[in-house]
Each structure stands twice: as structure tokens, then as C-alpha cells.
Amino acid sequence: MRILFLAPALCLLGGCLEVQQHPVWRDGKYDGKPDDQHEARLFHNDKLAWHAAIINRNMHQDEYNRTRDAGERVDVLPDKKAQR
């Protein structure tokens, strides 16, 4: 019987502890830590080097570029002449 009375009370109190998660805005601008650009920290503001590193990383994640015979055409079905 106590559980029937305590459960709704705990649910209501749990909602009161919700913390506001929106950023603080002052004068129409975000009042917080400024975000650094991706290329600023590691690449010393060199956007071209940052883009090259991203493209290089993406190329190494491609399975076609990582295999030994990259660029060669691989037939799925064998030739009939080879079977004879």
C-alpha cells in the first residue's frame, strides 16, 4: 500500500530535479567558451593541410584502396574458357 503512495511522489520529485540544459545567451550571442576551429589546434590554421589529412584518412578507410589489387578489375564469374 505504501508503494502506491510513494511511487507517484517519487516520480513528481524526480521531475523537479531536472537541470536546464540550454546555453546562456547574452545580447543575442552565446555566452560560453569559444569553439576552436578544427584546423587551428593541430594544423596551425592551415585549412589545406587539415583537408588533406581528412581526405587521406578517408582514403585509408576505403576497402577498395586498402586491398593488394587496388584498381584491378576482379571478375565475379569465371570465364567459360578457363573452365575447359
State residue 1's pLDDT score: 77
Any residues with CB less than 8 A from the CB of 24 and at least 6 apart, and which? 30, 31, 32
CA proximity to 32, closest of 40, 42, 21, 45: 21
Give the model confidence (pLDDT) of 9-29 as tens digits.
877 777 776 777 777 777 877
Q: Are 39 and 45 in contact (CB under 8 A)?
A: yes
Cα(40)–Cα(29) distance, rounded to whole angstroms? 22
What residues have CB less than 8 Å from 31, skipping those under 6 apart? 23, 24, 25
Domain borders along the chain are: 39-67
* pLDDT for the residue numbered 20: 74
pLDDT in tens, 38-80: 777 788 888 899 899 999 888 877 777 666 665 565 555 555 5
